[in-house]
Structure 1
Amino acid sequence: MEGPMIIEAEIGGHCIHHMYMDGGSASKILYEHCFSRLRLKIKNQLKSATTPLIGFSGEIIWPIGKIQLLVKIRDEEHSTSAWMNFVVVRSPSPYNVIIGRPGVRKLQAVPSTAHGMLKLLVEGGVITLKSSRLVPLECAMVSEPEGTPPATKPIVE
């Protein structure tokens, strides 16, 4: 598989599609186009942020704010979750969320971009999830968790 590690997760009680697991980033970023689709109760938890983000080419992005949300990744039977502090930014992106190394570590996840898979430690063992394919219509999808399909496609070992 070529391309980034893309998964789906439940974040703040919403099913978030097109989440990028970025092993090269130290940040946890929630893009404004995704943040604006969350319930008002969640959006009201946004706090001010005063530290800018510096991009690879040196561009400075001033965050809209920061917010702490529960991130839950699951298959049909198992799940793992962790609280994460996201920086909310206004910037064009094909992704809704980026989770960098610290977030990957909090989830006790092991991503393999070469195989397009993510291994997660859950109660009772380890599960393996397969990365989602890029589907342009899904990029902006944010939905309620009730009745949603599993966050990612499970791999049976």
Structure 2
Amino acid sequence: MAITFNQEDHPDSVPHLGRYPLMVNLIMGNTRLTKVLMDGGSGLNILYASTLDKMGIPHSNMCPSKASFYGIMPGKEVIPLGHIWLNITFGQPDNFHMEPLTFKVVNFPVVYHALLSGPCFTMFMSIPSYTYLKLKMSSPKGVITIKGSFEQTYYCEQDCDA
């Protein structure tokens, strides 16, 4: 199924073209998350411990993970609390795509609920448009379009600067 972006995808206005990241709503496990950063340049799916807590998932559900990584906190090594597998669902009840993904769980304050990376884009065969702040993917019932929010990303940016 062809995935395209055209004039219909263009928002009424684009404040600060190219300035905001693609942030989407999705269902992780059984919880709707509203501030998930889609970062195609990253190689790891990250879930923040505070999000795991808000979801009511006990830390005992994590598997141990001693492999550290770099790039989230500039110049600092990050050692995850562990990793966890969770189902991710994009779309609506009448047209959705669900896949299990593994997340490194980290414990530091952020404004996002989670970060989904390049391997997630591959798993869902999704195509981002950072211009339109949209993510599209195929499903058995047609193309799913996930709309980002310029307003939501603006508020997250303000929280980061505070």
Q: TM-score, normalised by structure 2?
A: 0.77
Choose which of 32, 36, 50 in structure 1 pairs with 2:49.
32
Instruction: List 4+ stretches of structure 1 deviating above 6 A.
Output: none
Q: Which amino acid aligns with 1:13?
A: N
Q: What does residue 15 of structure 1 align with?
A: 32
**2:62 is matched with which residue: 14, 37, 46?**
46
Match of residue 58, structure 1, among 66, 71, 75: 75
Offset at 1:58?
A: 2.5
Determine which structure has greater relative contact order: mean sequence separation of CA pairs < 8 Å that are 6+ residues apart, divided by chain length: 1
The yes-or-no answer on 1:131 pairing with 2:148 is: yes
Unpaired segments ≥5 residues, structure 2: 1-13
C-alpha change, 1:16 and 1:43, in structure 2 (3 Å) is farther
- Kept in 1, the 8 Å contact 2:91–2:145? The answer is no
CA distance in 1, matches of 2:81, 2:34: 21
Report how many aligned residue pairs link the two structures: 136
Match of 1:86 among 90, 103, 119: 103
- The TM-score, its normalising length taken from structure 1, stands at 0.79
Cα distance between partner residues in 2 of 1:90 and 1:4: 22
Contact 2:90/2:146 (8 A) holds in 1: no
In structure 1, the partner of 2:134 is: 117
- The superposition leaves residues 85-111 of structure 1 with CA deviations (integer Å, 9 ceiling, x where unpaired) of 000001221111000000111111111
Mark the structure with the bigger radius of gyration.
2
Distance 2:99 2:93 in 1: 18
Greater helix percent: which structure? 2
